[in-house]
Structure 1
Amino acid sequence: MLLFDKCQTRPLMHKILTTWMLVGSPETKLSMASYLGELALSNDVKVLVARTVGPSLINLMKSGNMESREAALKALNQVSSCDPSAKILVDEGILSPLVQHLFSGQNQLPMRLKEISATILANIVTSDCDFDSIPVGPNNQTFVSEYIIHNLLHLISNTGPAIEGKLLQVLVGLTSSPATLPGVVSAIKSSGAINGLVQFVEAPQQDLRLASIKLLQNLSPNMGQELASSLRGTAGQLSGLIKVIAENIASTEEQAAAVGILADLPEEDIGLTRQLLDEGAFEMMISRIRMIRQGEPRRSRFVTPYLEGLVGLLSRITFVLPNEPKVVSLCRDHDLTGLFTELLQQSGLDKVQMVSAYALENLSQESKNLTKLPEIPEPGFCGSIFPCFSIQPVMTGLCRVHRGSCSQRDTFCLLEGPALPSLVALLDHADVKVVEASLAALSTLLDDGVNIEGGVAVLCEVEGIKPVLDVLLEKQTENLGRRAVWVVERLLRTDDIAYEVSGDPNVSTALVDAFHNGDYSTRQIAERALRHIDKIPNFSEIFPNA
């Protein structure tokens, strides 16, 4: 043992491994496997062990002698904790016997060894292996086949916390890969296991709770409605997630994952939004966002995903503004228009900027319904008979877009504050999703039901016309091109802008291209835009009623 403790150098370790495992007696192999299970090995030694004696350890693991199996499993647990060595073990065929160990009856393998097997499996799934093609089951099922995943889900629901936590980590690893995620999602849906997985959110064991939350975060983009329905149940898991999100001063991995789950759930689920509102979750999120912007007392590496999740979750409240007085009051009380405007300036956080721009779009769309229009007095008797005697008062201080009394806090108006310059600046962003969101927010100034001429004038003042035209010319995505054509057509309704644009052949070419290749609606809008600049193609009779 003393000799082995000192043999951490690669040449000496290689010599001992070769002598003891490849040509040693069964007793020698058992002894060395036991030593390997107790030693703290460096990563390069783990790779050496896996490459040299990995097959022998796997064979020892499959032996009928329980002592040999336990020694081999403990050694493989050590070796598999490094990605390169784990991949070597997978190539040597460790998956199938591991799965057999886990799925065997309790009388065949003690629970302590099932726990080690689950730990090895959790180590292995983080390696870069093609798990969806490696046969592990009795009928050549792969590791992500429905049969295997169903069995893992059954074990998760019917074993102790130690094994449950490790198996949840296995599913976390499989759902972290785009190649294996669909198979796991399909198996969970077919088994109806989502309710059982959600229950672990309130597990008293921190590692078990963390593994379950990370798994649910991976599942939420693909099982959003199922997960939302489960969380809205009476078991209290939604409250448990909110408690996790709010419990620490500094951001943790668990908090970032918990808020990420809720941020990915469908915005159209109004029931979930109302439940979050009743739980006081949105006030807590606002407080946390402002705390992070002011500087956390202790910065952590999870502060960025935590902030992204908070902003994404807070934005869902802006999707239910119509006919929700309680939501309107909350947005006013906490000046959410101002907060999302500040978040537009979070340079380097593309997701925060994108979500904030979409939130401002939702808020701005509601402005025309919240603006207080001026009360014009009725003309007197003489004024009603002789219009020349009716002198209309001159209204000052009214919003040029919404025609009433506006403010950033009370009517969510984008004109009252620094939102417009920030949104225009983001039209030149490298991330096309940020550009799409910013253009969507600016489009609300030109929408039906507002004073479009006033909106165009405001965009001129913030030098937003050229950036919009540049978006049209670049046409980075189909959605962005469609939105740009819509905005440009509205801009061209102003004669001065139409006159200036008519001399730019690039804009005309871009509109003609949209007229040729866009969908039905876009082609109609592009034709109207071309009419504004007298550049309509000769074949415009395609849309005679446009």
Structure 2
Amino acid sequence: MMAKGITTTSLISLPELFSQTILAIFDCIRAAKSVLTQMENFEKFSNYMEKITLVLKELSKSNVDDSESLRNALDILNLEVKVVKQLALECGTRNKLMISCRKILKQLENSSKEISQALSLIPLDSVDGLRISNKISRLCKDMLGAEYSPGIVEDKILEKNESGIQERNVDRCYANDLLVSVAEAVGVPDEQLASKKEFEEFKTEIEDSKLGIDTAEAPRMKQNVVLLEKADAITSYEEKAKRYLDERNSLGMQLLQPLQSFYCPITMDVMVDPVEISSGRTFERSAIERWFADGNKLCPSTSIHLDTLVLQPNKTLRQSIEEWKDRNKMITIVSIKPKLQSNEEQEVLQSLCELQDLCAEQELHREWVTFEGNIPILIGLLSAKNREIRTHALAILCILAKDSHDNKERIAKVDHAFESIVRSLARQIKESKLALQLLLELSRSSAVRDVIGTIQGCIFLVVTMLNSDDDQASGDSRELLDNLSFLHQNVIEMAKANFFKPLLQLLSAGPDNVRLLMAKTLSEIELTDHHKLSLFKDGALGPLLQLLSHDNLGMKTVAVRAFQNLSNLPQNGLLMIKEGALGPLFEILYCHSLSSPSLREQVAVVIMHLAKSTNSQEAGHEQISLLESDEDIFKLFSLVSLTGPEIQRNILQAFCEMCQSSSGRDIRAKLRQLSAVQVLVQLCEVNNQMVRTSAVKLFYCLTVDGDDISFQEHVGQRCIGTLLRIIKTLSDEEEAAAAMGIISNLPKDIQITQWLLDSGALDIIFATITDGNRNASHKKQEIESAVRALCRFTVSINREWQKKVAEAGFIPVLVQLLVSGTCLTKQNAAVSLKQFSESSTALSHPVKKTRVFICCLAAAQTGCPVHRGICTVESSFCILEANAVEPLVRILGEGDLGACEASLDALLTLIDDERLQSGCQELAKVNAIPPIIKLLSSTSTKLQEKALGALERIFRTAEMKQRYATLAQMPLVDIAQRGSGGMKSLAAKVLAQLNVLGEQSSYF
């Protein structure tokens, strides 16, 4: 691989040699940056060269020894750099269409390996510094293994080019497609003159041998010329027509019979794909393959035993057969033209059938039909009275128009051509379908389509066929309407007469501009929920998702707007999630550079709608989640700190909805792990009310089941003051309710409670509970939270707090809430009353003893029957004085387990210790014992246990046993028989108290 005979000029100093090499490399890099093909591979080579220049500069500054080995390395490097520079210059100036891609890649690989070998000649032991030595070694290794490969587009072009060369009879469409692909890949404008100019230069360079191509490459380049000459952009219609007429005029008018050698000895038919076997005889490929498949190993013609069954294509014979066929087909086409103008309908019809077969058979035949001037004749036949003649003429015109812009324009130029075609639209189905197909083909030419819509009745007939039961006709109608861009608004208006079906048909297929308009209609029109649901059920979702993933920003924008209009229906939102809408929506939302702020705001609204659907009744028990991973949650929530108010608000609302969905617990936990509370605390102070409201609501969601630590880190006195101000100002009732919810869920920390007191929380809570002017939808929630928040101030361990609450007048309000509040309000009111009652005995003032002579003059002072002292609501928090006992007893029978348990706890404070006898009597007065007995049959084990414990105490008194033993006996027996271990034993103990079981019973 190493270049041979490399020598250096000893007269050149080593520094000068370094300088020359570096300059040569810079020249090579400049040339590489100007290439018109294989730009990525040249850039890769240039990167290696840039690294080498850095190494050479360091070597030139070091004390490297001037050795023959080093000079040889620099000489080789100079030589290979010049080779690649020349290659780059050729790729920048030589004809761009047909440069050999594989030759370029091979040369780049060879030069990289040669340079790697050259670098390895540098004596590393003489290099001053380990770092330079390591760089050289790494470069040697990298360049030795360097690989250059064609891009995906270029690779496909190479494959298509090779395939076209192998298949000698490829048609014009194939050549057109190949030419467009090559032109796009190398930057030639998509214009006929530009492509033809490039091609002519390429032909000239081949003929003048300027390409410097090797012997093996030359024939292939000439084959490329033959292949691309078939493209429309290379050879004009006039040139092709002249070539055809010259050839036609050289022929006679008689058909030639096939030569005997054209026939297959097995089938006795003219061969299509002749192949030669080892005996030297030729057969039709399919026939000889069947012969061999049947186990025959002899030549069918000579019976000679065959040494091998290999088939060799007989290309010469195949070409001769094709030329014979083409000659006869040309003569046939020439002979048909006068027959088409005959007055005999049968002769015309027979000629049309023959012409149709020829046109369908091969593209070359279609060209000949056109060159013979048959298009005006066929247009004229559309006015014939015979339906079959019109049908065959339309079919032939469809074939001629397909994939040929020239023929489309040629048809359009014939006088009254469109009027004749449109008349056929109104005739029987077969003819109307062919007329529709022809109009569709013609509409694919920008030069023709503007004429179509001006023909009277055309659009009406096409729209009529849009709703045809025939799928083909309906699809062709839709596509034709799509192509007629200037008529789109009219089409929409007409479609509204039968709104959904035409709109969805137009949305589902066709050019982008029509789909864009249909989606725009969906984004702007007012729709009922029923219509929104119907649109998704009837197929609007799929096309809109395609537009959402479109590369064009306009397409994305209109799709987002349509989804914004349709996604607020939960069923539609759930369907969008299932069908994968989130991926492209998030891509737009996260990509700042490729989307406008307004578009991202609209996407945020759609995402909020989707989140809302996961929290809807329609979601049911489905585990449908908007965000699957911690990373997804982090990415979306991070936008709260990086975007404007509109996006912030909708993202916060989306998270709020997700936190309340079936997967809400996991979402809430992950948000707390991401320190979302810290961000939300800051947002509680922003001026934008909508953002602040959304932040407060999400903050409340996170406090529902959060741990104390996650809030104590971020919730300080300032945050508490902010939340209380929100509640007090009541600028938004929903926001105020959420803020009170946060207050109620804050950790029961002494410091936090003191901050609340210092900030006037009691006054605000009292105002919340007693204000009757609040919106009913949020009032209940706010009162529930306020009463729950009050519980932290009524704990019996801090009587100072209790005293402040009592003096503020809360106890009568709590008693009233036992009657009028929601179940949750009643539960928390009972909790506070229970905590108050726990302090009553200690706070009850002893009754003063009166002297004997005074007792006759004044009534004796009576104390509380339970607490045995003087009780008041504000001084001792006595629930008897507050008239709370009867409401608490009523709650026992209301069925809500939480409220029932809290009420029972409050009532049981009356029968603690020495107050048992008097307390039981007070409970009996308000008929509280039967409801407690009834709780033995509760579905709540906890309530059963508490009721059982209460009765064990109550039945210690003889009076209670006597009055309620019979009522309690059966529930107690049931627990003793079926209850859990502890309850079973306690029930047996109570039954023993009632003398139902002996003390030695097995239940113990």
Instruction: Give the TM-score normalised by structure 1.
Output: 0.84
- Distance across 1 between alignment mates of 2:679 and 2:806: 39
More deviation in 38-47 or 402-411?
38-47
CA contact (8 A) 1:144 1:180 kept: no
Partner residue of 2:331?
none
User: Of residues 906, 918, 925 in structure 2, which corresponds to 1:461?
Assistant: 925
Partner residue of 2:723?
241
User: Of residues 767, 786, 792 in structure 2, which corresponds to 1:287?
Assistant: 767
User: Of residues 494, 498, 501 in structure 1, which corresponds to 2:957?
Assistant: 494
Is 1:229 the counterpart of 2:709? The answer is no
The share of aligned pairs that are identical, in percent, is 25
CA contact (8 A) 1:429 1:435 kept: yes
C-alpha distance 499-148 of structure 1, shift in aligned 2 (>3 A) = same
- Distance across 1 between alignment mates of 2:756 and 2:932: 37
SS at match of 2:876: coil
Partner residue of 2:785?
309
Matches within 5 A, 1:158-307: 158-177=642-661, 179-226=662-709, 228-230=711-713, 232-233=715-716, 236-248=718-730, 252-266=733-747, 268-292=748-772, 296=773, 299-307=775-783
- Distance across 1 between alignment mates of 2:597 and 2:733: 32
Amino acid at match of 2:667: V
- Distance across 1 between alignment mates of 2:680 and 2:668: 12
- Distance across 2 between alignment mates of 1:494 and 1:7: 90
Deviations along 1:216-263, whole A, 9 cap, x unmatched? 2222121152454155325x22212111111139x8212222212222
SS at match of 1:113: helix
More deviation in 221-230 or 414-423?
221-230
CA contact (8 A) 1:214 1:257 kept: yes
Partner residue of 1:437?
902
C-alpha distance 363-3 of structure 1, shift in aligned 2 (>3 A) = farther
User: Of residues 770, 782, 806 in structure 2, which corresponds to 1:332?
Assistant: 806
Amino acid at match of 1:261: I
Is 1:517 the counterpart of 2:517? The answer is no
Is 1:145 the counterpart of 2:624? The answer is no
Which structure has the higher relative contact order (CA within 8 Å, separation 6+)?
A: 1
Amino acid at match of 1:202: E
SS at match of 2:870: coil
C-alpha distance 465-19 of structure 1, shift in aligned 2 (>3 A) = closer
- Distance across 1 between alignment mates of 2:741 and 2:495: 42
- Distance across 1 between alignment mates of 2:609 and 2:510: 28
Matches within 5 A, 1:60-75: 60-75=547-562
Once superposed, what is the RMSD of the aligned Cα atoms? 2.9
Partner residue of 1:384?
none
CA contact (8 A) 1:286 1:314 kept: no
SS at match of 2:788: helix
Partner residue of 1:138?
none
CA contact (8 A) 2:847 2:861 kept: no
CA contact (8 A) 1:361 1:440 kept: yes
CA contact (8 A) 2:956 2:993 kept: yes
Q: CA deviation at 1:182?
A: 2.5
Deviations along 1:246-294, whole A, 9 cap, x unmatched? 1139x8212222212222334x3232222111110111211232222xx
Q: CA deviation at 1:458?
A: 0.7
- Distance across 2 between alignment mates of 1:356 and 1:133: 36
Q: CA deviation at 1:501?
A: 3.6
SS at match of 1:400: coil
- Distance across 2 between alignment mates of 1:402 and 1:207: 53
C-alpha distance 339-524 of structure 1, shift in aligned 2 (>3 A) = farther
Deviations along 1:413-457, whole A, 9 cap, x unmatched? 111132111111111112122211111110000123x42111011
- Distance across 2 between alignment mates of 1:408 and 1:204: 43
Partner residue of 2:530?
44
Partner residue of 1:535?
996
User: Of residues 594, 597, 608 in structure 2, which corresponds to 1:108?
Assistant: 594
Structure 1 portions without partners, runs of 5+: 136-141, 379-393
C-alpha distance 200-130 of structure 1, shift in aligned 2 (>3 A) = farther
CA contact (8 A) 1:144 1:184 kept: no
Q: CA deviation at 1:132?
A: 8.7
C-alpha distance 181-270 of structure 1, shift in aligned 2 (>3 A) = same
CA contact (8 A) 2:762 2:805 kept: no
Is 1:405 the counterpart of 2:884? The answer is no
CA contact (8 A) 2:608 2:654 kept: yes
- Distance across 2 between alignment mates of 1:131 and 1:79: 23
Q: CA deviation at 1:8?
A: 9.9
- Distance across 2 between alignment mates of 1:183 and 1:132: 15
SS at match of 1:202: coil
SS at match of 1:35: helix
Partner residue of 1:366?
839
CA contact (8 A) 1:8 1:41 kept: no
CA contact (8 A) 1:132 1:143 kept: no
Aligned length: 504
C-alpha distance 376-529 of structure 1, shift in aligned 2 (>3 A) = farther
Deviations along 1:71-125, whole A, 9 cap, x unmatched? 2212221121222222232233211221222233x22333332222211110111
Structure 2 portions without partners, runs of 5+: 1-487, 852-858
Amino acid at match of 1:401: V
CA contact (8 A) 1:355 1:437 kept: yes
Deviations along 1:27-64, whole A, 9 cap, x unmatched? 11122223333333332332233332221111111111
SS at match of 2:771: helix
- Distance across 1 between alignment mates of 2:819 and 2:669: 40
SS at match of 1:154: helix
- Distance across 2 between alignment mates of 1:130 and 1:407: 52
Q: CA deviation at 1:15?
A: 2.7
- Distance across 2 between alignment mates of 1:406 and 1:282: 24
- Distance across 2 between alignment mates of 1:463 and 1:152: 58
Partner residue of 1:323?
798
Amino acid at match of 2:729: E
SS at match of 1:301: helix
Q: CA deviation at 1:503?
A: 3.7
Amino acid at match of 1:353: K
C-alpha distance 101-509 of structure 1, shift in aligned 2 (>3 A) = same
C-alpha distance 131-172 of structure 1, shift in aligned 2 (>3 A) = farther
Instruction: Give the TM-score normalised by structure 2.
Output: 0.47
C-alpha distance 260-530 of structure 1, shift in aligned 2 (>3 A) = same
Partner residue of 2:276?
none
- Distance across 2 between alignment mates of 1:93 and 1:242: 42
More deviation in 462-471 or 525-534?
525-534
Amino acid at match of 1:159: T
Amino acid at match of 1:212: A
C-alpha distance 28-233 of structure 1, shift in aligned 2 (>3 A) = same
- Distance across 1 between alignment mates of 2:861 and 2:990: 33
Deviations along 1:152-191, whole A, 9 cap, x unmatched? 12111222222111111111111111x2212212322332
